[in-house]
């Protein structure tokens, strides 16, 4: 099995609905997002998928969140904008645009240098 990993960053604010503690107040993060895709075979060029294509897809997925208040975005008007839910939403957005032989493996989202959540899908 081959794996390909790309990462990118974005900045956004959020607050956690129903949470008791510091995170219930409006605050921001410089988020790091790491996407892992996998394939049992390589394409005709010897790649899982072109790094350039994966980086572009990730940048487009993150553009909707960059410099936003996540709670007001369409994805999080009702869903709590936790790091876990953010990882799942990004996973779902990227899953549909992959070549048939490539599968989403995981999306990891860091809200700080020492804390991250990972979604691996069903």
Residue 50 has pLDDT above 80, yes or no: yes
Rounded to an integer, what distance in angstroms lies between the CA atom of residue 95 and that of residue 98?
Answer: 6
For residue 14, how many other CB atoms are within 10 A of its CB?
25
What phi and psi, each to the nearest 5 degrees, are found at residue 82? -75, 165
Residue 23 has pLDDT above 90, yes or no: no
Q: Is 12 helix (H, G, I), strand (E, B) or coil?
A: strand
For the question of whether the overall pTM of this predicted structure is more than 0.85, the answer is yes
Q: Which residues are catalytic?
A: 23, 67, 111
State the Cα angle at 17 between 31 and 28, rounded to 5°: 25
% of the chain exceeding 70 in pLDDT: 100
Give the pair of three-digit tokens for residue 110: 């860091």
Residue 37 confidence (pLDDT) = 97
Full set of structural domains in the chain with CATH? 2-119 (3.30.479.10)
- pLDDT, tens digit (0-9, with 9 covering 90-100), for 26-35: 999 999 999 9
Compute the average pLDDT of residues 64-79: 97
Compute the average pLDDT of residues 67-96: 96
% of the chain exceeding 90 in pLDDT: 93
Dihedral over Cα of 72, 77, 79, 85: its sign: negative
């Amino acid at each position: 099995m081959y794996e390909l990993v790309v990462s990118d960053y974005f900045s956004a604010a959020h607050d956690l609905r129903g949470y008791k503690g510091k995170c219930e107040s409006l605050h921001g993060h410089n988020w790091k997002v790491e996407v892992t895709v996998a394939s049992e075979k390589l394409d005709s060029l010897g790649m899982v998928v072109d790094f350039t294509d994966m980086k572009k897809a990730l940048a487009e997925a993150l553009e909707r969140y960059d410099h936003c208040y996540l709670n007001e975005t369409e994805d999080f008007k009702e869903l709590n904008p936790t790091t876990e839910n953010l990882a799942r939403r990004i996973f779902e957005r990227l899953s549909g645009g992959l070549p048939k032989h490539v599968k989403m493996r995981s999306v990891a989202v860091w809200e700080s240098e020492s804390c991250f959540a990972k979604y691996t899908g069903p």
